[in-house]
């Protein structure tokens, strides 16, 4: 079973991809609600030059609930997908 990451609403979450020698094209990161409605998407940025580490920072919506961060990559005409489950919660106030 995969882990569900818990974050506060409004937090910034970094979606990452590390390639294994071949740079994917295109390389896109997206954030969806639990009901698969897209919240944010865009191309990922390489951290440095030629190091194979890519990222995209996404700010979580102000609505508590479950979300999915998805990375879509194409390598040698083959699609690759990675999904991370996120639970956005309200911070507790004393």
- Which residue has tokens 């083959």? 78
CB 83 within 8 A of CB 68: yes
Domain borders along the chain are: 4-89
Quick one: pLDDT at residue 68? 96
4-89 belongs to CATH 2.60.40.10? yes
What is the distance in angstroms between the CA of the first residue and the CA of the last residue of the chain?
A: 34
Chunk the chain into consecutive blocks of 10 residues (it has 94) and report each block's average pLDDT, rounded to whole numbers: 86 90 85 93 86 91 95 89 94 70
Question: Are 62 and 10 in contact, with CB atoms under 8 Å apart?
Answer: yes
pTM of the complete model: 0.84
Give the pLDDT confidence score for residue 41 in this predicted structure. Answer: 94
Strand extents, DSSP E, 1-94:
4-8, 12-18, 27-33, 38-43, 45-46, 53-59, 65-75, 78-89
How many whole angstroms separate alpha carbon 8 and alpha carbon 27?
26
């Amino acid at each position: 079973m995969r882990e569900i990451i818990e974050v506060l609403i409004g937090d910034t979450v970094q979606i990452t991809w590390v390639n294994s020698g071949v740079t994917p094209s295109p390389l896109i990161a997206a954030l969806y609600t639990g009901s698969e409605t897209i919240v944010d998407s865009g191309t990922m940025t390489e951290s440095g030059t030629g190091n194979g580490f890519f990222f995209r920072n996404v700010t979580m919506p102000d609505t508590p609930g479950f979300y999915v961060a998805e990375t879509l990559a194409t390598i040698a005409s083959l699609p690759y997908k990675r999904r991370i489950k996120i639970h956005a919660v309200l911070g507790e106030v004393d």
